Amino acid sequence: MAMQNIGRPSRPRAADLENHASLTGGRGLLQDEPLIFELGGWEKTGVDLPAPDRDAADLGDLVRAEPIGLPGLSEPEALRHYVRLSQKNHAIDLALYPLGSCTMKHNPRLNEKAARLAGFADLHPLQPVSTAQGALALMDRLAHWLKTLTGMPAVALSPKAGAHGELCGLLAIKAAHDAAGQGHRRTVLTPTSAHGTNPATAAFVGYQVAEIAQTADGRVDLADLAAKLGPDVAAIMVTNPNTCGLFERDILEISRLTHEAGAYFYCDGANFNAIVGRVRPGDLGVDAMHINLHKTFSTPHGGGGPGAGPVVLSEALAPFAPVPWLVAGPDGFGLIEEPAGEAARAFGRMCAFQGQMGMFVRAYAYMLSHGADGLRQVAEDAVLNANYIKARLSAEMTPAFPEGPCMHEALFDDSWLEGAGITTLDLAKALIDEGFHPMTMYFPLVVHGAMLIEPTETEPKRELDRFCDAMLALARAAKGADRERLKGAPYLAPMRRLDETLAARKPKLTWRPGDSTVAPAPLAAE
């Protein structure tokens, strides 16, 4: 059965592969491109500048003694270089981006237009507060809706990303324990399926980390949790829905046991997109939760720089929220910049200024354009799409937890590949040849050969079917006579399969004159 066959055969002919490898290194209209330093132009610049009319005597020993060492490219050369590089990147604007636990949803252009309005895009963090009242008002409204959607009384906007938000929440928990004379609580409990940032953040704060076991159906083991809760435990960190794509149905009991032991409940909000508008974490007994704005409210991943990971806090932790605090007064909005006055118990500051304004604008525009009913539908459609993928792929692949529906992502193990001599990595590489970014591989670690697929709510059924058709055809090839197709993939990417272990352990991060990139290996014939 043909897979993705628009514009090319579903399997390249040997002659085509051989000819392709012997010419330019390009793949059709996809150009091969070396490092910018290899393009040359050392003896020229892209811009003519007049000779300086003053000497540099006042610079002393700071005067440059050697050429700066940058290639000199004309405008079209520089433009083409970066356009060619951009063609090597998969993007959500190109096709489905099925990375599980990442929520690679479409970013509406309305959000981008709002973020580029002069009153927001031209702000400077040091300008007087009186001249930024509109921006502060937007932050106040964003904070209001984040608190409303989560059922929490306070929010810290300044954290820049999910892990930064985790750090914020744990520092607030630490400050609360210290203030209560409970500084001896030095242990944080995390499930075995937790995001790696959870134990890493806890260790960074100085806590000891202990794992909570997982049940056979992919959820927190209540008996193990109860056995490990004690006077030394400061907090638990649980993701809900969890990293296996399942809702923790015992979440209220998890909360009760945690609070009964004198600990706080930190919820990793990475998967909030699956329940936004339907479930309020505050109603589940959560004390702190970061919200990845890029995952739930469609700000770009990384935002071209800092992202945003606001942290909502319970009444018990609200007094310890980091500064700056946004406050409303008779003369408009102001900022409490230091731990003093009503913010006297704030644990400190997370970043230099007030947060990432561009991300705030995008997230708020997304909220307003969807409304309460639209945000509820976001969660419902995300869950529907994931279950559709689970249902279709289960014909050839094995769901890690087959009983019942999943939430926003479908998780498969590699037991269906047993005896085929094919691995999860082989399948992922073959998927590249079909024009799709691979799913998340080998995570969560509790599932052998894990394949974690998250379509998000923004994918239409046609795109889901296109992806599922390719996956099913590859699955049949892996179990049939065509398995060599997967072992050698990718064939059509600009570069063939690399030694990823060697690349990770011995990366070459610096270019020096005389270096050159390694040419793509010849493509194998059928």
For residue 394, what are the contacts with CB-CB under 8 A and spacing of at least 6? 402
Torsional sign, CA 337, 343, 345, 347: negative
Q: How far apart are CA 279 and CA 239, in angstroms?
A: 14
pLDDT at 3: 47
SS3 label, residue 289 = strand
Q: How far apart are CA 455 and CA 462, in angstroms?
A: 12
- CB distance 393 to 383 below 8 Å: no
Report CA dihedral (335, 337, 341, 342) to the nearest 10 degrees.
Answer: 60
Q: Which two tokens stand for residue 116?
A: 């580029």
Output the CA–CA distances (angstroms, integers) from residue 231 to 192, 200, 474, in the order listed: 22, 22, 52
Residue with tokens 């290639």: 71
Taking alpha carbons only, the member of 526, 477, 518 closest to residue 494 is 518
The DSSP annotation for 331-393 comes to TEEEEE-SS-GGGTT---BSSSSS--HHHHHHHHHHHHHHHHHHHHHHHHHHHHHHHHHHHHH
Taking alpha carbons only, the member of 373, 379, 219, 374 closest to residue 295 is 379
Q: Where are the domains of the chain?
A: 110-366
Look at the chain and count its residues.
526
Q: How far apart are CA 48 and CA 74, in angstroms?
A: 11
- CB distance 398 to 410 below 8 Å: no
Q: Which helix (H) or strand (E) holds 288?
A: strand 288-290
- Which ranges of 129-181 does DSSP label H, i.e. alpha helix? 133-150, 162-179
* Parallel/antiparallel/unpaired status of strands 187-191 and 208-212: parallel
CATH class of the region 110-366: alpha beta
Q: How far apart are CA 125 and CA 117, in angstroms?
A: 16
| Single-letter code of the amino acid located at 409 | E
Local confidence pLDDT in tens for the 526 residues of the chain: 444 443 344 445 454 444 444 466 666 777 778 888 888 777 777 777 888 888 888 888 888 888 777 888 888 999 999 999 988 888 899 999 999 999 999 999 999 999 999 999 999 999 999 999 999 999 999 999 999 999 999 999 999 999 999 999 999 999 999 999 999 999 999 999 999 999 999 999 999 999 999 999 999 999 999 999 999 999 999 999 999 999 999 999 999 999 999 999 999 999 999 999 999 999 999 999 999 999 999 998 876 567 899 999 999 999 999 999 999 999 999 999 999 999 999 999 999 999 999 999 999 999 999 999 999 999 999 999 999 999 999 999 999 999 999 999 999 999 999 999 999 999 999 999 999 999 999 999 999 999 999 999 999 999 999 999 999 999 999 999 888 889 989 988 877 888 888 989 999 888 887 776 544 444 433 3
Q: How far apart are CA 248 and CA 270, in angstroms?
A: 14
- CB distance 494 to 519 below 8 Å: no
Taking alpha carbons only, the member of 93, 40, 28 closest to residue 463 is 93
SS3 label, residue 207 = coil
For residue 148, what are the contacts with CB-CB under 8 A and spacing of at least 6? none
Q: How far apart are CA 319 and CA 315, in angstroms?
A: 8
- CB distance 494 to 27 below 8 Å: yes
pTM beyond 0.75:
yes
